[in-house]
Structure 1
């Protein structure tokens, strides 16, 4: 199979999904209105609620939801063959992820920017919402702790990525000032920012920075983990326009350039896919494709984490409700393109089938390392980029996206801690809530591993927890649409599919953890399963009530003008 044909089919499907299906969802299902007054204007505070240009907001949303997951998941899942991974990524992006992300963004905007956890209290019930918060907290804990390990590992294994990784923070702060303070034209800012970022990549490739084996009594990896959490804690409390927005925007541009280089190399070199379409010679111990494919590839097909981002940060920055189509659905398309690129890099970036089988000799192998090495080989063959520079480009891309997801994740987990505090009758300040988040994450990272790798201990539950959360988010959308007498099948069918495969995977994992006597994961698995089933039952009851109740009165969408400031106005 030629990789060029696979890329052409996949890209065409995703573009068609945005042009056609997202238009149907926007007009017929969610009925987006340009005159609806968004929370960014209604509650504007210059910190979390900031009306933002849709292209800048897309950059924040896209890079926050992308991270390393759309690389890691597909790069592991191709062990079953490229065909199942390709079908789930393309069809999942068009009919599942785009609808889910757009819907979660719309639902939050229509409810004053409330998070998915808060929305569950209104549409499902108070009991269900508290269990919902448990699932969200555990998911964010997994993301923050595990991504710190992934990033530190890349900074150690690819020292040429150190300068561009940290230099990008300086570029982001300057971009934020240029947009909001100096009122530069966005196109000019984009060109200057991208040029600066790629200048840092060339500088990092020329001057790699490798830490000594021990730093302040810690291993190099453990030191980077501590630094990453300190950075994420500070970044999560800054106004979004200072660092979060500009960092994510420039990273979004950088990713699309990186993807352009990768797909351009595929177009020029047309490498052959050496991996089998359906792998019948699976390594011993590899679990069955069904249902684990659908939880191994979460980001890149559908991901509950996206709903947390959509309702946690993106909804508070949406300038006009109609921008939700571009930010939400096209953000999912961008992640789908990254996942498709990961599939191509890890199946066509090897010279022979034997080379590929050597890397994929056991389940769980591959991941970011296979993406960087395979993608680097394709860049070298197509564009003639030196191997070291190719590795630096791809490693920097992976690090920057994992880092943006991590600092957004810490901000979101702080929101969750504050919501839990309110339920307990405590009013936690952002500083106290952030401190709690950092203590829990760092405690997990170092409590279960002296080198800071303890964050990977609960990572095996990420896929199933993530998909369970996606199903629960879809259940909220189903109740909302039913109340409004809107078309509900575009939500209900994906909800049922994701719910079935996720619960099935949880049960399978429960048996595995019991056989391995892994009591920690077994207990967490049971907690997540009970919470999910409880929320599902509450959702079913809420859906039944919505069907029998009188239709919800539609908002007068055209009555309120979109006032307030836009991206160029910035904070006073």
Structure 2
């Protein structure tokens, strides 16, 4: 219990202190007109209260990630607490803050546009493809999942439920952000928070000891912590998907000082949710072996349902059902909206079309593969989502590093997590079954060598900018 409570306190302190430090490095300017006012269009650029932005951001980035991912990551034992806390404060929240604030500074720009500005058009082209694939896969997964559950709970057939969910997705993708998303997300957000807090309180007073910190790897399958836990627990620590969602909210903020509360704060909120569910997974089933058996029997949805009903009774069962239906829907709809926005921005210079026509056509273009994938067994593709998600996160961190270097600011706040995540994604792709499936030692050697090359390029850039600063100072004198 001490470890669990300490971890929550650390996350809160991360927001109270480190978030302010990051904000000072960025240097906010509330006198600057935000895109919500500068580009008001009644569709995507709409001024909204920051608290609505917080709920929208939380639900956009959360989905089932901080619940299902945290439960799966709990198989490694209390070491998951370390990754959630450190990853959230120093990597994930920094990633989300810069993805949101750089978008805010650049007229509500999408993630690929930011990559192009700070890392070049070559990287942008690759990121456009990866981002779109990631968005479409997420939207498809979060169409099929809720549809299957609705089929179990109602007389609806799977096809009817699928059409119902997808119809909502289409409406959320094309209607003004304040008409559906802005109105219902705060309600859904309250459900998510109440669900997590209720489970957390029940854990504290449930009589079962919450495991204390140990650095030992307790995974029953003896899978290595590095780099697997960093991909398993992404939402709740760091997730590249967030950088594709932040522009939705950056186009609604009224002033720059709201960014810390919305972008950094929502990530801390997600970290707390992940921490609670990781603790629940470790505690409820009497250890990681019991948790593995439960996951094998009922999957993560079954585990969440069993924990909720057992700890909270009927109320918990209702929350679990609402959560498993609502949370993926509130991520899938904005994933579809983001894919529409990314594709529109990508093709805006090539297609001569009015804004309403562009919105409609691009929504149709991304909807066709999304709906198709939601009707088939595409699990072989879904396996790549975890890695591609963390690649996007790594690229966003390097984008922030480039921005900070060019501005002469403290680049280490993004540089350290960027180096760490580079090592993660480089090692993972060689070791994982969906990658090259190499031996662990070989994967470590190749992955860390590639990471070292990237780090060397980073160091070279640091010295390059220092030389440029020295030349400017010499010329001025």
Q: Could you state the TM-score of these two structures normalised by the residue count of structure 2?
A: 0.87
Q: How does 1:410-559 map to 2 (within 5 A)?
A: 410-422=336-348, 424-425=350-351, 427=353, 429-446=358-375, 449=376, 453-454=377-378, 456-509=379-432, 512=434, 548-549=467-468
Cα shift at 1:148: 1.8
Structure in which a larger fraction of residues adopt helix:
2
Aligned to 1:368: 301
Per the alignment, residue 154 of structure 1 pairs with 149
CA deviation after TM superposition for structure 1 residue 45, in Å:
1.7
Q: Does the 8 A contact of 1:79 with 1:360 survive in 2?
A: no
CA distance in 2, matches of 1:466, 1:544: 30
Of 49, 66, 73 in structure 2, the residue corresponding to residue 77 of structure 1 is 73
Contact 1:275 1:348 in 2 (8 A): no
Q: 1:336 maps to which residue?
A: 271
Q: Is 1:391 aligned with 2:317?
A: yes
**1:271 and 2:200 correspond:** no
1:547 shift after superposition? 5.2
Instruction: Decide whether the 8 Å contact of 1:124 with 1:539 is kept in 2.
Output: no
Q: How large is the RMSD of aligned CA atoms in angstroms?
A: 3.0
Contact 1:275–1:353 (CA<8 Å) still a contact in 2? no
1:192-239 CA-to-partner distances (Å, cap 9, x unmatched) read: xxxxxxxxxxxxxxxxxx226xx3xxxx2x432332222201211000
Map of 2:256 onto structure 1? 321
Distance 1:132 1:536 in 2: 20
Over 3 Å counting, the alpha-carbon distance change for 1:471 and 1:514 in structure 2 is closer
Match of 2:14 among 7, 13, 17: 17
Which residue does the alignment assign to 1:569?
none
Larger mean Cα displacement after TM superposition, 13-22 or 396-405? 396-405
Q: Shift of the alpha carbon at 1:485?
A: 0.7
Q: CA deviation at 1:424?
A: 4.8
Distance in 2 (CA, whole Å) between partners of 1:318 and 1:515 is 44
Candidates 229, 240, 248, aligned match of 1:293: 229
**Change over 3 Å in CA distance of 1:549–1:141 after alignment to 2:** farther
Question: How far is the alpha carbon of 1:103 from its aligned partner?
Answer: 1.3
Q: Is the aligned partner of 1:235 residue 2:172?
A: yes
Q: Whole-Å Cα distance in 2 between the matches of residues 141 and 535 of structure 1?
A: 29
| Cα contact 2:430–2:436 (8 A) shared by 1 | no
Q: How far 1:548 moved relative to its partner?
A: 5.0
State the alpha-carbon separation in 2 of the partners of residues 358 and 375 from structure 1. 17
Partner of 1:205: none
Deviation at 1:309, TM superposition (A): 1.0
Task: Identify unmatched segments of 5+ residues in structure 1.
Answer: 160-209, 380-384, 517-531, 554-572
**2:27 aligned counterpart, secondary structure:** coil
Q: Determine the structure 2 residue equivalent to 1:225.
A: 162
Using the TM superposition, give the Cα deviation of residue 507 of structure 1 relative to its aligned residue in structure 2, in angstroms. 2.0
Report the counterpart of residue 184 of structure 1 in structure 2.
none
Instruction: Give the paired residue count.
Output: 455
Q: Deviations over 1:2-41 (max 9, x none)?
A: xx434311210111001110011112x1112222211111
CA distance in 2, matches of 1:18, 1:397: 26
